[in-house]
Chain A
Amino acid sequence: MSEKLLELKNVTMKFGGVTALNEVNLHVNKGEIAALIGPNGAGKTTVFNVVTGVYKPTSGEVNFVGQSVVGKKRYQVTKIGIARTFQNIRLFGESTALENVVTGADVHSKSGVIGSIFGTPRSRREEKAALERGMELLAFMGLKHRAGQLGKNLPYGDQRRLEIARALATNPQLLLLDEPAAGFNPAEKVALAATIRKIRDAGYTVLLIEHDMSLIMDISDRVAVLDFGQKIADDVPKVVQNDPRVIEAYLGAPADAS
């Protein structure tokens, strides 16, 4: 049950004089929905960037199923099974929805330029498999009817969902969602929560950053709280919700506490 999929050990990330993460210890167990919350600027997205190889941590270790992620190229991190979405949507706007997803699915193809020129059997097979996988994921995210539309022309909510589909296409063991519900209305949030649960039930592990507390408390198995680059709590939602340090980080210290 508590097999650690991802583990951050004493990770510190400094940008010049600014310490974005300070000795953060964090782990994600296989098969759970973990959440990372904290006020703006707490370092949540920095955690994602460190995990996916965008930043190299100043010190500390990041281990994913027993191997270190530090120093790995970004595409290699994706290949070993970590995929992410972005806080500010970053789709390939000039590509169709299907192409966006298939770009992710291509990770598992072995054929490349030569294979595609000569149309080798392997290239054809992989091409077909990637397209099928792409359609399957679009259908899963309720985007099948958008397959032929350009990324930039999709409505906002569909763009967010397409990002999740694209990340899933890489067949990740760990899916990192950076504020997937940002800008969603309550009904869309409920639907998203159901989708995230289904993703987990299909065998994926999810780590999400979110500001919507009711969504977090509803779906997460565990919640970690960051404040000014430090982890101040890490427990089941019920406990975190009542942790005085968390309340202080979000609302400020009560007047009678000092």
Chain B
Amino acid sequence: MDEGLRNELSKQGVFTTTLQELYNWGRRSSVWPLNFGLACCAIEMIAASMARFDIARFGAEVFRPSPRQADLMIVAGTVTKKMAPLVVRLFNQMPEPKYVIAMGACAISGGPFKQGYNVLKGIDRYVPVDIHIPGCPPRPEALLHALLKLQEKIAAQPLTGEHRPRHLSPDVPGEFPVPAYGPYDLQPAKNDDVWRPALVVRTDAG
């Protein structure tokens, strides 16, 4: 719809919208996170929901204990290899549409604990991540920023066409294989459909 015409109409008290905007507005304004903390970042996540930072201003204060009722998984903390299958399982149990925020350096890449034998080097090896927040731990403001970014992302999702989100495409799976505990490592060590290591050409000269 033409932007000028819409402005003109709104001055005269007529509100126009599209189905897509209305649908996305409703979805983005009440993102319910999963009440799911892993480590240090979870404390800052709790702090973000407390009086000072008040995540309720953005419609995301309803932390749900059950994945069945949640829209957003905030992976707040170090994902260890012992925990990774359970994180993927929780993500699988969430209904579509669902989103993932990787909060903190550990959830992004393993962070300071990257060289640990039991630390997963980033949850995006198994599930697709929408927003990454750097920091160790990120401040609550950073979490709010990530939430706003997620809202922008939701608002921009088209309902039809090639770029429509996962839950509107019937053939795109919304669930991801859960890794199994192996004798030395998780099996598989990463989900190739979700994550591939960056192709790096290394020369010994540098």
Q: Do A and B bind each other?
A: no
